[in-house]
């Protein structure tokens, strides 16, 4: 066995034993991802069901009854029938309902009567949560639209308008937000392991004085770098594998790309994160400061500036420019594509290249920062 291999074996074995025996590493590397997965899998959901809606039926006609029935049948709405607008408004003020649908007393008559008059469906939404309000609006439109189209098909007089949209949502036909959130979350979990855990572990070696003893051995700088990268790389990839498995098996998120592509691109992202984490820990030798830096500069941007939840393209230009420095942004894009769309190289390749570049820069800087002296 040559000396390099022996040194590497020593440092790797030590690292693995330490991870296995230190509860806080395990907590951060395995428990935290699971907690996050379940939180996001169950807790975070942009799709709504059973939205409480007050429906005012001043009209007793067949058409009105039919339409209200549609609302009652849909799984999106939970209908509260009320008889006048005042009652509905007070329900809304007390936050008991989120929207009011009102069919005036001449609704059925207008629909079946003269051609000149339109039959209005009045919709009042609580707009505080604008996103939810838009969703509700969309659901209402879908119900009324389908109802109208079906009436028309049956030959009953109703117009759907001259131009209508026939839309298809690709990759995510049901527009389920879980399919969008879980792949993004994997990025967050890998960031946690790559940056926070790595930065903490190395800072801890400085604090406990183990680093000093380590430096006065024939270890080369390269050995130190490799000895730190390999175990946490494996840990990060395990975290990724775990997340993918839970996502696909438990949350039934589709995975349409190839695992090879995921492994390769995931590795690039992991290396970029590790490089950043190593850089932080080489610059700061105190766990406390390392934790703060990795949260502020690693974790929070990965959450807010990566397109994980909030759409980047809708933000002001400055924010978009800043977001280009966040590695998580590229991997969020990659994992969304891999999960929902498949191996689309025109998306994967450029993002992968940027990640590779970042990995090289961060690791290179970390290598330069690693020193065998105390005052480096």
Q: Is 180 in the site for another protein (CB under 8 A)?
A: yes
Q: CA-to-CA distance for 80 and 102, rounded, in angstroms?
A: 12
Q: CA-to-CA distance for 271 and 41, rounded, in angstroms?
A: 26
Q: Is 252 in the site for another protein (CB under 8 A)?
A: no
Site size for another protein, by CB under 8 A? 135
Nearer to another protein, 83 or 164 (CB): 164
Contact track, another protein, 29-58, x by CB under 8 A: ------xx--xx-xxxxxxxxxx-------
Q: CA-to-CA distance for 120 and 103, rounded, in angstroms?
A: 7
- 3-state SS, residue 311: coil
Span 203-242, contacts to another protein by CB under 8 A: 208-220
CB of 202 to another protein, least distance (A): 13
Rule CB under 8 A: choose which of 111, 202, 229, 270 binds another protein: 111
Rule CB under 8 A: choose which of 6, 250, 263, 353 binds another protein: 6
Closest C-alpha among 206, 224, 210 to residue 287? 206
191 backbone φψ class: left, alpha, beta (φ>0; ψ -120 to 50): alpha
CB of 263 to another protein, least distance (A): 21
Q: CA-to-CA distance for 340 and 173, rounded, in angstroms?
A: 10
- 3-state SS, residue 79: strand
Nearer to another protein, 271 or 273 (CB): 273
Q: Is 260 in the site for another protein (CB under 8 A)?
A: no
Nearer to another protein, 272 or 338 (CB): 338
Q: Is 202 in the site for another protein (CB under 8 A)?
A: no
Span 337-376, contacts to another protein by CB under 8 A: 337, 340-341, 344, 346-347, 372-375
Span 129-158, contacts to another protein by CB under 8 A: 129-135, 137-138, 140-141, 144, 147-148, 152, 157-158
Cα-only R_g, the chain: 28
Span near another protein by CB under 8 A; candidates 160-168, 230-238, 259-267, 272-280 = 160-168
Q: Is 68 in the site for another protein (CB under 8 A)?
A: no
List b or e across 10-21, with b for residues whose CB sees 16 or more CB atoms inside 10 angstroms.
Answer: ebbeebeeebee
Rule CB under 8 A: choose which of 83, 90, 96, 117 binds another protein: 117
List b or e across 110-131, with b for residues whose CB sees 16 or more CB atoms inside 10 angstroms.
Answer: bbeeeeeeebebeebbeeeeee
Report the Cα 326 to chain-centroid distance in Å.
Answer: 15
Rule CB under 8 A: choose which of 195, 270, 336, 358 binds another protein: 336
């Amino acid at each position: 066995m040559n000396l390099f291999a022996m040194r590497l074996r020593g440092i790797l074995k030590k690292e693995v034993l330490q991870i296995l025996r230190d509860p806080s590493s395990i907590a951060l590397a395995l428990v935290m991802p699971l907690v996050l997965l379940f939180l996001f899998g169950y807790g975070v959901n942009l799709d709504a069901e059973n939205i409480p809606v007050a429906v005012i039926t001043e009209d007793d006609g067949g058409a009105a009854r039919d339409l209200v029935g549609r609302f009652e049948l849909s799984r999106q709405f939970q209908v509260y029938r009320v008889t006048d607008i005042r009652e509905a408004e007070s329900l809304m003020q007390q936050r008991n309902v989120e929207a009011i649908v009102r069919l005036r007393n001449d609704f059925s008559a207008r629909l079946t009567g003269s051609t000149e008059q339109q039959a209005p469906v009045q919709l009042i939404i609580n707009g505080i949560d604008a996103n939810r309000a838009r969703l509700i609006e969309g659901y209402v439109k879908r119900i009324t639209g389908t109802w109208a189209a079906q009436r028309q098909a049956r030959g009953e007089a109703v117009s759907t308008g001259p131009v209508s949209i026939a839309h298809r949502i690709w990759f995510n036909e049901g527009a389920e937000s879980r399919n969008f959130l879980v792949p993004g979350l994997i990025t967050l979990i890998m960031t946690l392991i790559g940056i926070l855990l790595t930065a903490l572990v190395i800072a801890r070696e400085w604090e406990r004085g183990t680093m000093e003893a380590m430096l006065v051995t024939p270890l080369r700088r390269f050995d130190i770098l490799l000895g730190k990268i390999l175990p946490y790389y494996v840990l990060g990839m395990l975290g990724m594998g775990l997340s993918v498995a839970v996502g696909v098996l438990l949350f039934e998120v589709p995975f349409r790309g190839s695992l090879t592509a995921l492994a390769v691109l995931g590795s690039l992202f992991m290396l970029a994160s590790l490089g950043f984490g190593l850089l932080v820990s080489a610059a700061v030798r105190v766990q406390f400061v390392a934790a703060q830096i990795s949260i502020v500069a690693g974790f929070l941007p990965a959450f807010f500036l990566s397109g994980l939840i909030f759409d980047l393209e809708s933000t002001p230009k400055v924010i978009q420019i800043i977001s280009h420095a966040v590695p998580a942004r590229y991997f969020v894009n990659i994992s969304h594509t891999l999960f929902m769309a498949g191996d689309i190289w025109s998306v994967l390749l450029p993002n992968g290249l940027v990640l590779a570049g970042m990995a090289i820069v961060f690791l290179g800087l970390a290598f330069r920062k690693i020193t065998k002296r105390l005052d480096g």
